[in-house]
Structure 1
Amino acid sequence: MKRRSRKDSPNNAIETPIMYELIQDFQNKDILDLGCGDASFGKDLVERGAASYSGIEGSEQMVEAAKRNLSQVNGSVHLHTMESYTYGEEKFDIVTSRFAIHYVADIDALFQNIDLSLKEEGKFVFSVQHPLTTASFTSKKKGDRRENWIVDDYFLEGERKEPWIEQIVVKYHRTVEQYFRALISSGFSVVDLREGTPVRDNFTDEKEYKRRLRIPVVLAFSCIKNKNV
Structure 2
Amino acid sequence: MEARMKMVKSVQPFLIALACLMMAAVSYAAPVLQPPEEEVKKITTELLDTFNKNKEQYKKNPDGFFKEVDRLLSPVVAFDQVGRYVMGKYAHRNPDQVVKFESEFKDSLIRFYGKALLSLDDTSLIIDSVDKTSPELLKKYQEGKTSRIPVKMKIRTSNSTVEIFYSMVHVDGRWKLRNVTIEGINIAKQFQSQFADAVDRHKKVPYVVENWTAIMSSSTDKGSKK
Bin the TM-score by the shorter chain.
Answer: under 0.3
- Which is strand-richer, 1 or 2? 1
- Which is helix-richer, 1 or 2? 2
Q: Which has the larger radius of gyration?
A: 2
